[in-house]
Amino acid sequence: MTSTNLSPKQLNFAHLVLACVDVIKQPLIDILDIYVKPSDLCKKVKQCNDLMSGRHKLNSEQLKKCGFTSPHIPDYSQFDVTLLYTLIRNLCPRALTPTNGWGKEPQVTDTQLGDDIERIRQFRNKNVAHVNSGELDDMEFEGIWSDLEDVVQRIQSFTTANGCSSNFLQQLADLKGRTVEIDEYTSVIKSLEEEIKEKVKTTVPWNVKEIYKKVVSEWKRKDKVYFETHSFPAMFEQVKNQPYVTFVGTPGSGKSATAHHIALKLQNEEGYDILPIKEVSKIEDYCDSESPQVFVIDDVVGVFGLNNGQFEMLERYKDRIISADMSKTKIIMTCREVVFRNETLSKCFLTENANVIKLQSEDNKLSDEDKLSLLANYGLDVGLIPSKRMSETSAMFPFLCKMFSEQKFYVNGYRFFITPIKYIKDALDDMQTRNQMHYFSLVLLMLHQNKLSETDLVKELIENKPIDINDVFRKCKVSSHKDSFKITGALQEMDGTYTQTCDDQFCFIHDSMFEIVACQFGRQFPELIFKYMSSEYIANYIKVGTNDGEINENESEEMLENIEHLSITLHDSKLPMFAERLFIDLKDGKLIGIFKSLKHPSVMQAFQTLIKEKQYDELFTAFLSNQEGKKHLYFRYRSLEISHECINVSDLLIGGLINNDEHNNFVRAIRYFVLEGQHGILQHIIDQMMLQNGNVNDLFQTLCNEKQQCGQGMNEDDTGAEVERTADDDTTVETTVSKIEIQKKITLCFKNADTDEEIVNNDYTRTGYKDSESDRKSDIG
């Protein structure tokens, strides 16, 4: 090189940039090549769920480099640091995991290979990709360069020991000793700027950004009437001091409004970008640790009750949420109080005191002064509620002020603020009689799970799908005219009181309104609730009563004051329909609350009666098939305490039902019924299996033929030995278990069932096993 026109400080920075471009990816190339040869890369990537569809999903350009679009052997030298790091993180042995975990800054004393891989990624981000200046003084440069040499030297010792001949230290020395011309410097800086712009542009896809802008714009519109209560300054300070905070409260207490207001305040005062995400996994996709961002997630672990899938996702991304690397990131979540009280959450990081704000706590609950200010904020008479009755007002007070301001409930006076659900329900009863079209429109919106667009409505009126609209017409006593304009017009007329519009869709003004309408309608017509409502709603709002016509007065009174008690109580005559709905969910793998419902003896009895009417194909699908939707059952079984006999039956009879895999855990539903001692159901399935197949081989099927070929699941050798993958780890153990021993366990289990009758004959013919006489004698011995 000829002499440079760069200043010494610019030359220092240029050397760092060129080290990132030309040198530091070389050690990563050698490490990846040691563990994954280029010829095997495409196959390895295809087998990794995280790289194909999970939290580290590769984009189309990265997949192309990995050999997906054309049959070629990938060239690792064409991979950038980001792609190399991602592949090493997901495809190389777990032994490479850094001391503090991936994505976290290593301590000075952490010098394992994984720690240095993490340092290389962070070296590039800290010293080149996210700097504000193209200059670096000598002292700072020498410190950074010395640290880089230490890292490179340790990695070189590893790669040399594994057959690589690259001399990274010499490459660094050669780079540091040469000059850089102004043209080369300008070219490299320009290329770097383009790369950074592209990364910033693609962190959040443009179409997602547009959606988020609309959401935030709606927040701003609603925020105009937000009132900062006496406890707001302390809550805002807590959010600023913690990486994540969860607002907990009853429906209508202002959880979401407060979370949104704080996010807007952070945006206005400190320049935060607002990302109103629906899934925790999006934090991993969209987080930029160098930029101030506030992620907002409403109902983070479920709306009506604890959603196991959302809870598992939260636990999976725990490290990302509490990460110290994300010092500029805030995560604000909301959670209903009834969900928060679920015992499953008691040991979850979500419940740490420093990270929880309970709106109904002594410190945060609304004072009388707050309530008066809220009334004034909505233009209501501050003398509306007698001072002596102020303490009796509902926890839904902020939402009730909004509803009352629409003048719909003026006639009820201050009592509306004390027992609002009673008056809303009375209004719906009146609407059902006097204004059937409005009532029908609300019911239709409810049955569509709180989202209904005019386009969907027009299509449904023609096709009667997914809801048979004539069903609803009849129940609501509306003449069956298919006029979408009257329906949408009715929904628009109720805007601000019962409904609102969001992104060209109608929805209820609040989740609690959705639940009140569902309760009011469902108590009259539970059959339509069974037919159309979500599994999550069914799991949390369907209760079982005693005899037809009997009303639990205490529950009824409690319902009038507490949104948590808006349940639909079933009596004996409705249980067969309920059992049919549970069976449909079982077949579809929608298992959120089936087993919770089956705990009730009357429901289980109705369910047992139902399955006796089903064909074997349906029984197989429901109880013995491996559906992806059933994978969340796996986590339940790991902590379930059951009797010793049932453990044996479960492990021996159905041991192959669990596939313990890092990414997918599947389980057949029959396992639950065995663990819960429902041996009559197992026996009925065995009986039907014998009639259909003449054997019970379906009980011992592994997940799929592909996995049998891969050697996973349970296999049987010539001696009757079985190889079973355990549920708690990735090891494989051999247990010699003959079919006759398995049958003994079935027999024992049935003997311990509710009936004293010995269900299984001693000759085992009932299950299709006719072992040899020598086997029998051996067993007796």
Is the pLDDT at 182 greater than 60? The verdict is yes
3-state helix, strand, coil in the chain (%, to 5): 60, 5, 35
How large is the angle between the packed helices 773-780 and 739-751, nearest 10 degrees? 60
Region of poorest pLDDT, from 293-307, 414-428, 592-606:
592-606
Region of poorest pLDDT, from 48-52, 216-220, 444-448:
48-52
Other C-beta atoms closer than 10 Å to the C-beta of 532 total: 17
Question: How much is the pLDDT for 132?
Answer: 55
Question: How much is the pLDDT for 468?
Answer: 83
Sheet holding 329-336, edge to edge: 273-275, 293-297, 329-336, 244-249, 356-358
Is the pLDDT at 528 greater than 50? The verdict is yes
**Of 36-40, 327-331, 700-704, which one has max mean pLDDT?**
36-40
**Of 3-17, 48-62, 379-393, which one has max mean pLDDT?**
379-393
* Strand 715-716 relative to strand 542-544, pairing: unpaired
Query: Cα separation of 169 and 706, whole Å?
Result: 47
pLDDT level of residue 635 (50, 70, 90 thresholds): very low
Percentage of the chain beyond pLDDT 90 is 41
The predicted model gives 111-131 an average pLDDT of 80
Amino acid occupying residue 525 = F
Amino acid occupying residue 616 = Y
**Of 386-390, 408-412, 587-591, which one has max mean pLDDT?**
386-390
Is the pLDDT at 362 greater than 90? The verdict is yes
Query: Cα separation of 586 and 678, whole Å?
Result: 16
Query: Cα separation of 183 and 3, whole Å?
Result: 12
Amino acid occupying residue 567 = S
- Give 647's contacts (C-beta < 8 A, 6+ positions apart): none
Contact criterion met (CB below 8 Å) for 320 and 295: no
556 or 262: which leads in pLDDT? 262
Is the pLDDT at 416 greater than 50? The verdict is yes
418 or 640: which leads in pLDDT? 418
Is the pLDDT at 294 greater than 50? The verdict is yes
Measured distance between the N- and C-terminal CA atoms of the chain, rounded to whole angstroms: 89
The predicted model gives 410-435 an average pLDDT of 92
Phi-psi region of 364 (alpha: psi -120 to 50; beta: other; left: phi over 0): alpha
Instruction: List pLDDT tens digits, range 757-767.
Output: 333 333 333 33
Question: How much is the pLDDT for 480?
Answer: 64
441 or 290: which leads in pLDDT? 441
Mean residue pLDDT of the chain comes to: 79
Region of poorest pLDDT, from 333-342, 345-354, 484-493, 695-704:
695-704
Query: Cα separation of 55 and 102, whole Å?
Result: 13
The predicted model gives 165-173 an average pLDDT of 89
Instruction: List pLDDT tens digits, range 533-571.
Output: 998 899 889 988 754 434 444 444 444 455 557 889 998
Please report where in the chains the tokens 């313990």 appear, as a residue: 660
The predicted model gives 76-98 an average pLDDT of 91
Q: Which residues pair with 452 in a beta bridge?
A: 506
Contact criterion met (CB below 8 Å) for 624 and 685: yes
Question: How much is the pLDDT for 10?
Answer: 84
Question: How much is the pLDDT for 562?
Answer: 57
Is the pLDDT at 85 greater than 50? The verdict is yes
Phi-psi region of 548 (alpha: psi -120 to 50; beta: other; left: phi over 0): beta
Region of poorest pLDDT, from 50-64, 475-489, 513-527, 553-567:
553-567
Question: How much is the pLDDT for 625?
Answer: 82
Question: How much is the pLDDT for 678?
Answer: 82
Region of poorest pLDDT, from 78-87, 457-466, 697-706, 711-720:
711-720
Question: How much is the pLDDT for 777?
Answer: 32
Could you give all domains of the chain from N- to C-terminal order, each with its CATH number? 8-201 (no CATH), 206-358 (3.40.50.300), 368-417 (no CATH), 420-587 (no CATH), 614-780 (no CATH)
Sheet holding 721-725, edge to edge: 715-716, 721-725, 732-736
The predicted model gives 701-710 an average pLDDT of 40
Percentage of the chain beyond pLDDT 70 is 77
Is the pLDDT at 598 greater than 50? The verdict is yes
Q: Which of 481, 371, 391 lies closest to 436 in space, CA to CA?
A: 481
pTM over 0.85? The answer is no
Question: How much is the pLDDT for 432?
Answer: 93
Angle 670-675-677 (CA atoms, 0-180°, nearest 5)? 100
Query: Cα separation of 359 and 396, whole Å?
Result: 11
Contact criterion met (CB below 8 Å) for 644 and 636: no
Region of poorest pLDDT, from 205-214, 317-326, 403-412, 705-714:
705-714
- Give 656's contacts (C-beta < 8 A, 6+ positions apart): 700, 701, 702, 703, 713, 714, 724
Question: How much is the pLDDT for 4?
Answer: 52
Question: How much is the pLDDT for 270?
Answer: 87
